[in-house]
Every structure is written in C-alpha cells, then in structure tokens.
Amino acid sequence: MASSLTKDAASRGTPQDSGKTFFGHPRGLATLFMTEMWERFSFYGMRALLVVYLISGGPDAKPDAQGGGLGMTAVNATAIYSVYLAMVYLLAMPGGWFGDRVWGPRKTVAIAASIIMTGHLALAIPGQGAFFAGLALVALGSGLLKANISTMVGHLYKGPDDPRRDGGFTVFYMGINIGAFAAPLVIGTVGQQVNWHLGFALAAVGMALGLIQFLIGTRHLDPRSSVVPTPLSVQERKEWLRRGLMWLAIAAVFYGIVVGTGHWTLNWALVPIAILGLVIPTGVLLRIKRDKDLSATEQTRMSGYIWFFVAAAVFWMIYDQGGSTMAAFAETKTDDNVLGMHFPSSWFQSVNPLWVMALAPVFAWMWVALARRNREPNTTVKFAMALVLIGASFFVFIVPMGMAGGGTTVSPLWLISIYMMQTMGELCLSPVGLSVTTKMAPAKYASQMMGVWFLAVTAGDCTTSLLSIGGVDLSGRGIIAMEATLAVLAGFAVWMYRKRMVQVLGEKH
C-alpha cells in the first residue's frame, strides 16, 4: 500500500548533518553515486555478455570460443538485445509514475534494485526459461530505478538555482561511467573465460552491493525522496488495478492459446514488444501535438520537435548497435590480443565509457572557449554534428568489415576509433537533446516531455529489432552503408533547418 510522509514525519526523516560533504556536495550524493555506480556495473556487465552468450554454441559463434550459450544466430541475438534495451527506456516512464504516485522515489529505487538483483540471479541459472525471465526482471527494475534516482539527486539541492546543482549531477554521472567502464573488464572476463552464469551472478553481486549501500545511506537523503508527490486516491487505485488485471487476463488467454495450439515461437514475444515500442512514442507525440490547448507557437515547436525526435531515433538506432552488431564483430572478426596479451571481446564494451571520461572535459572546455569568441555552435548545429558523426562511424565500420573476410581478423584499433566517433556524437547529442526538449516542450507537458525524449531510444532500438526479426542482416555492409547514409542525410536536414530553429528556440546565433 502506497503512503506518503506527513510534514511531521518528513521532519523526523531529515538527513543527519555531520558537517561532512562529498566533494563539496551533500553527503546524500555519495549514497546515490555509489548506488548508481553499482547498478551500472551490473547493467553494463550483463550487457557486455548478452550478445556473445546468445550466439555462443551457434552458427555465428567464434570457433574456439567458450560454449554453453543459447546457440542463436547473430540476427536473433540482435533482435533480443534491441528489444531488451528498448524496454529499459520505455519502462522508465511508468517507473517515474510509480515514484510520483505509488511508492515515492526512495522506496521505488529500493524495490527496483531488488528486482534487478533477482533478475541477474535468474540469469545465473542455466536454461532459456530462467534467462528470459531474468532479462525481463532486469529491464523492469532498470526502468523503475532510472526514472527515480536522478530525481533524488535533485532533491539534495535548494532548487534549480543552487550553484552546486550542475556540479552534483556531473559527479553523479561520473559514477555511471566508472561502473560502465569497470563492468566489462570484471564481469566480461569471468563470463567469457570462466563461466557465463558466474558472470551473470557477479552482476547480481554488484547490484546487491548497490542496494546495501543505498539502504545504509538513506539517512543522508532529503526527506522529499520518501514523499509520494501525488498519491493515488482509493478510487484511482481500484481503477488501475482493474485495468491491469484485465490486460493481464487478455495476455494470459492469448498466449495460452498460442502455446496450446503449438504455434509458440520467440517472435510471438519479440514482435508485439517491438511494435509497442514504436506505437507508444508515436501515440504520445501525436496526442501532445493534437492538443487543442496548445498555442500556435507551441504547435509550431512541437512540429519541429517531432523531426528532432525522428532524427534522434536514427542516432540511437546506430549507437546502440555498439553492444550488438559491433559486439558480434568484436567477438568473431577482431584480434583479441594487444602486444601478445589476449583479452575477451567483452572488453570492447569498456571503450565507450572510457572515451566519455576522456572527451567530456575536452568538449566542455571547447564549448566554453568557442562561446567566449561568440562562435559556439547552436543546439541545432550540435544536433546535426552528432548525426553526421554517428553516420561517419558506420561508414568507417564498412572498411574493417571488408578486410575481415575469409577468416581474417582486423586490428582492435578499428573498433576503438569507431567507438571514439560515436562517443563524440553522443557528447554532442545527449545534452543538446535534453536542452531542445526543455525549450520546445509545451508548458502543459513540461515534465512529460523529458520522458518523451528517452522514448527516442526505444523507437531506435525497436526499429533495429524489427529489421532483425524481418531477416535483415544488420552485419551486412549494404545495410551498414544504408544506415550510415540515413544518419548523414538526417544530420544534413537538421543543419538546413538551423536558421528556422534559431528563431523558434530564441537563440542568439
């Protein structure tokens, strides 16, 4: 049963102030930093193993690689990976709803961490049934946690004008990249070289450490993190429960018939989820666009934003293949040694967060330096740059793909360079996407639009999944070239729109 704190209860839950800080920030930031770091450790560690585990023992596996996986084709592995990643971002919206209306952010994060840990433990059990159940639990828990832990970071500061606020989020996001960098090196090594399921178990241990850290450090969090901002009324609770049970019954009957008649295949699960991941973002955007309460200016901005959303979906469609198409290429067609030292292919999944940590300060300095000269690119140009960079990375990818034919493997430097270009694109698009969303969002939908932005990831990944399910070989040079061309053309189209967007966004240049 959901509950919210009264004012008296909130005052009793005030964080203990010992005078200590975390890099000059409230002590609660250390709690959230460590929780997020361990959650990302578990998330990216499992993700590093996911595709290579799925193809292990199958026709697309490396001949001398460890067996014991699910023996799938690379096409099916990409479809499963893409649907899984899409669901993480899609479930962030209901995750935020649970935090706002049912449990409050603090309780939601604790429950989410427990669900994630249980999911990784299920992955540690051999068998397809346990594997897919574990994957579903990790996606559900990640969606619940993702939406609420950032909210609690914001609670630590005295409103949006607190001068420490931006720095606090910077420190918090460093925890993400530290966890993402370390995970493939530890979990990937154990999973690929010792035992797959032991690697998944290590991911569960990582989330358990994060949960313990969170529960111990909750006394340092702001009391608002325990408050349910807009709790459901009794009537609303009954209505949501009725709807949930109705849809659950419909799904149970439908899939019961499919299984009972002997027609069940994995596509009966993947296809509806992938289609849902495209229908929901489309429906949300159209619902907002068609709202008659919006002013003419807001209507114009929403029309422009829809094109930005589509372009962002193209970006993420390519970017997230770093853990699927490129991961499979790293496993089967890339040298696994440097200076005589052999390493598992999952280590390539540490390259992106390493580039983020190396390049983020450079980009921050560069934008400030250009701003002093009044030459900093506006948000539209940065967005276009991101699309061109992600497209260019896949044009470069075509070269090692051509070199790797006939059993020949290519230098790891090819993938390292491609990941660098993709990271540069990410550093242009991620902060700019959030900025564009806040500037173009109608006042009525200011909060919801932040969740809508993340649905671009869902749309991109679901497109990849449907292509794979449809039999498209995403590792073929033709489809790689087509995706690269699409991204560059999208970037050029956004760039052509830049002068109009300066007016819409109210920018100076």
Domain check: are 159 and 247 in the same one?
Answer: no
Residue 182 lies in a domain: yes
| Alpha carbons 82 and 119: distance in angstroms, whole number | 18
The reported pLDDT for the residue numbered 319 is 96
Q: What is the DSSP string of 350-381?
A: GHHHHHHHHHHHHHHHHHHHHHHTT----HHH
b or e along 207-220 (b: 16 or more beta carbons within 10 Å of the residue's beta carbon)?
A: bbbbbebbeebbeb
Give the pTM: 0.88
Instruction: Tell me whether residue 456 is in a domain.
Output: yes
SS3 for 131-175, per residue?
A: HHHHHHHHHHHHHHHHHHHHHHHHHCCCCCCCCCHHHHHHHHHHH
> Domain count of the chain?
3
Residue 247 lies in a domain: yes
Q: How far apart are CA 435 and CA 379, in angstroms?
A: 8
Residue 69 and residue 148 in one domain = yes
Whether residues 160 and 187 fall in one domain? yes
DSSP state, residue 231: P
Whether 189 is in a domain gets the answer yes
Where the chain has pLDDT below 70, the residues are 1-19, 159-161, 166, 446-447, 502-509
Confidence at residue 505, expressed as pLDDT on a 0 to 100 scale? 64
Give me the CATH number covering residue 92.
1.20.1250.20
**Cα–Cα dist 416/359, whole Å:** 14
Residue 74 vs residues 51, 78, 193, 267: alpha-carbon distances, Å: 8, 6, 20, 15
Does some domain include residue 386?
A: yes
Confidence at residue 37, expressed as pLDDT on a 0 to 100 scale: 95
Whether residues 322 and 448 fall in one domain: yes
pLDDT at 276: 92
Rounded Cα distance, 90 and 82, in Å: 12
Of the candidates 450, 451, 308, 314, the one whose C-alpha atom is nearest the C-alpha of residue 381 is 308
CA-to-CA distance for 267 and 79, rounded, in angstroms?
9
Amino acid 19: pLDDT:
60
List the structure tokens of 35: 């929780």
Same domain for 225 and 279, yes or no, is no
Distance (Å, rounded) from C-alpha 320 to C-alpha 367?
26
Interaxial angle between packed helices 412-440 and 379-403, expressed in degrees from 0 to 180 and rounded to the nearest 10? 160
Distance (Å, rounded) from C-alpha 355 to C-alpha 64?
30
Please say whether the beta carbons of 74 and 328 come within 8 A: yes
User: According to the model, what pLDDT value does residue 14 have?
Assistant: 44
User: Over the stretch 44-81, which tens digit does the pLDDT of each residue have?
Assistant: 999 999 999 999 999 988 887 788 899 999 999 999 99
Domain with 447 in it: 269-509
Is 222 in the same domain as 255?
no
- Which tokens go with 297? 């200016």
Assess contact for 142 and 89: CB atoms under 8 A: no
pLDDT at 12: 39
Longest dimension (CA), the chain: 72
Residues 82 and 100 in one domain: yes
Compute the chain's Rg from CA coordinates.
23
**8-state DSSP, 264:** -
Residue 336 and residue 374 share a domain: yes
List the end-to-end C-alpha distance of the chain, in Å, as a whole number: 52
* Per-residue model confidence (pLDDT) at position 339: 75
Q: Report yes or no: 62 and 192 within 8 Å, Cβ to Cβ.
A: no
161 in the same domain as 289 = no
Q: CA torsion sign, 458 to 463 to 468 to 474?
A: negative
Q: Is position 13 within any domain?
A: no
Residue 193 lies in a domain: yes
Q: Do 284 and 413 belong together in one domain?
A: yes
Task: Report DSSP state, residue 338.
Answer: E
Q: Are residues 126 and 176 in the same domain?
A: yes
- Closest listed residue to residue 482, CA positions, set 312, 306, 317: 317
Residues found in the chain: 509
Could you tell me if residue 186 is inside a domain?
A: yes
Examine the domain organization and report whether 250 and 275 are in the same domain.
no
